[in-house]
Amino acid sequence: MEFVKRLSPSEAKYKYFGLPKKTREEFPDKDRTFKLKFKNKTYDMRVNNKNCIMLTQLYDAYQFQEDDEIKISSKNDASFELKVNE
């Protein structure tokens, strides 16, 4: 699975990104922790009840901005990797 999206102004401001229904099924159930690798560090993440993933804890590594393109790919070990193109 590979998911690509540009962050909207509200997503950048409130530090989250929403998952479309098709992509949502690829992630664990609500409030179940999964591993997300970003900038050579692994984070414990969750999908919340609004089908969003909060980016707050990643802001130490990168300050997300409006129109940043994020790409999430699933890995063989049931984890995910996030990359950002400014």
pTM (2 decimals)? 0.88
CATH number (domain holding residue 69): 2.40.330.10
How is residue 29 annotated by DSSP?
A: P
- For the chain, the domain total comes to 1
Q: Which pLDDT score is estimated for 78?
A: 87
Average pLDDT over residues 28-36: 93
Q: Which residues contact 82 (CB under 8 A, 6 or more apart)?
A: 36, 37, 38, 58, 70, 71, 72
Domain ranges, residue 13: 2-85
pLDDT tens digit sequence for 53-86? 999 999 999 999 999 999 999 998 889 999 999 7
Provide the 3-class DSSP secondary structure of residue 33: coil
Instruction: At 69, list the tokens.
Output: 């393109």
Is pLDDT of 11 > 90? yes
